[in-house]
Amino acid sequence: MAWVLSSPGSLDDDSRDDSDVALIQGKTPDGEGLRVIRKRRERIEFAHVRPLVEGVPITGEVVSLKPRPEFPLLCDVKTELEAPAPADVATRPAHGGPAQVATDRYRENWDKIWKRKREPELPS
């Protein structure tokens, strides 16, 4: 079964083991997922996993958990789909609201329709 893993927090660990494991702590408060402590490479992460549900957005990475026979609460983790990278600050617009995409042709037509005509000046 595939799960969605969301990591609300993490701690750094000095060990360099390449294993990826998760220790199940219990159910999430809503009872739909599991709270886990995940250790991968040099990091320890506090996270929760939830089953994939069709139509529900994926908010983290997609993982498979395989319980170990000698201790079923300790699971080997296989990452099926990496979490999307955060949006680059340089690609975000500098202002709020929709994009400004006015072409020269658009401006010309705008002026033809909305530009105020000058009122004739009175002879002096």
Q: In this structure, is residue 121 part of a structural domain?
A: no
Q: In this structure, is residue 108 part of a structural domain?
A: no
pLDDT in tens, 22-79: 999 999 999 999 999 999 888 899 999 999 999 888 888 999 999 999 999 999 999 9
Q: In this structure, is residue 6 part of a structural domain?
A: yes
Q: In this structure, is residue 117 part of a structural domain?
A: no
Q: In this structure, is residue 113 part of a structural domain?
A: no
Indicate the residue type of 1.
M
| CB 32 within 8 Å of CB 50 | yes
Q: In this structure, is residue 39 part of a structural domain?
A: yes
Q: In this structure, is residue 112 part of a structural domain?
A: no
pLDDT in tens, 106-121: 878 877 777 776 777 7
Q: In this structure, is residue 97 part of a structural domain?
A: no
State how many domains the chain has: 1
Enclosing domain of residue 44 = 2-81
Between the CA atoms of 82, 83, 85 and 87, what dihedral angle is there, to the nearest 10 degrees? 150
